[in-house]
Homo-oligomer: A and B are copies of this chain.
């Protein structure tokens, strides 16, 4: 199930890269084929990248158009991504990239409402400025970073589940099996195997030194992609929350103290302190 959750996340990330290149940069199907093919021949090598590259070449026998352009933009699902998100919430492990993959499949099915809203609601007038080739390179790096972050979320879920249910999961073995032959098989899984071989009890792939180095060197490109998507009005929630997951995970402080204060204020739910053990309650309203 977690395999399929990761698969949902990767598919949504690739779809967002497609949207940025199609609606953002105006690339043709031939150009998209070439981009994904080149990505498949470098460090994003993997089964999903390979089939994506092939998809843009395929001609529809009925119309003679590219098949991709006559396929309806409503994604179906069998539920495995949803179950991953739901179970992750039960175990209190954040998998935001997978959550957004599920949400966007659901949003895609609101076809009729989207058609009406596209007339009623406007977006930015901004068109893409800048060099298309260098943006495609940045997009490659952004996708690479977001893909690692997606594997990290799924693996962290497996790690927590293994502890909660006493599965005694061998995560290096899981990565080896996924590498062997499945939909998310990719070159990156070799690096993930190596990470777990070096530290079998690694709580999160992001702190493996090799992967951390890769992410840190390329995070700037993910930031530029998120900024560009926001400015162009192209929805890239999976890219966005992959970045937010990275920034949240590396935050020694998060604003959750305010949420604790609010909960204690309106519901006497108590809070914890930084300087003492135990739970505390404050009478916030003046008597």
Q: Using a CB–CB distance below 8 Å, which chain A residues touch chain B?
A: 11-12, 14-16, 18-19, 22-23, 47-48, 51-52, 54-55, 58, 62-63, 67-76, 78, 82, 85-86, 89-90, 92-96, 99-100, 102-110, 113-118, 120-124, 183, 203-204, 206-207, 209, 212, 215-216, 219-220, 223, 226-227, 230-231, 233-237, 240-241, 243-263, 265-267, 269, 271-275, 282, 284
Q: Which of B108, B227, B272 contacts A71 (CB 8 A)?
A: B272
In whole Å, how far is A191's beta carbon from the nearest beta carbon of chain B? 16
User: In the assembly, what is the distance between CA of A239 and CA of B129, in Å?
Assistant: 24
In chain B, what residue has the closest Cβ to A117?
A: B250
In whole Å, how far is A275's beta carbon from the nearest beta carbon of chain B? 6
In chain B, what residue has the closest Cβ to A240?
A: B240
Report chain B residues within 8 Å CB of A92. Answer: 106, 109
A85-B89, A113-B204 known; 15 other A-B pairs, CB under 8 Å?
A: A48-B262, A54-B284, A55-B261, A62-B275, A71-B272, A72-B257, A72-B273, A75-B259, A94-B106, A107-B249, A114-B248, A121-B215, A123-B219, A230-B230, A233-B247
Report chain B residues within 8 Å CB of A76. Answer: 260, 263, 269
> What 9 pairs across the A-B complex have the smallest Cβ distances?
A108-B256, A237-B244, A118-B252, A235-B248, A240-B240, A121-B250, A94-B103, A75-B256, A72-B272
User: Which residue, of A95, A246, A255, has the highest number of chain B Cβ atoms within 10 A?
Assistant: A255
In chain B, what residue has the closest Cβ to A236?
A: B244
User: Which residue, of A51, A107, A256, has the highest number of chain B Cβ atoms within 10 A?
Assistant: A256
Tell me whether chain A's interface is mostly helix, strand or loop, or mixed: helix
Q: Are B259 and A235 in contact, CB atoms less than 8 angstroms apart? A: no
Q: How many copies does the complex hold?
A: 2
In whole Å, how far is A209's beta carbon from the nearest beta carbon of chain B? 8
Q: Are A248 and B254 in contact, CB atoms less than 8 angstroms apart? A: no
Q: Are A74 and B237 in contact, CB atoms less than 8 angstroms apart? A: no
State whether A274 and B72 are in contact (beta carbons under 8 Å apart), knowing that A92-B106, A284-B54 are contacts in the complex.
Answer: yes
State whether A207 and B71 are in contact (beta carbons under 8 Å apart), knowing that A94-B107, A237-B96, A275-B63 are contacts in the complex.
Answer: no
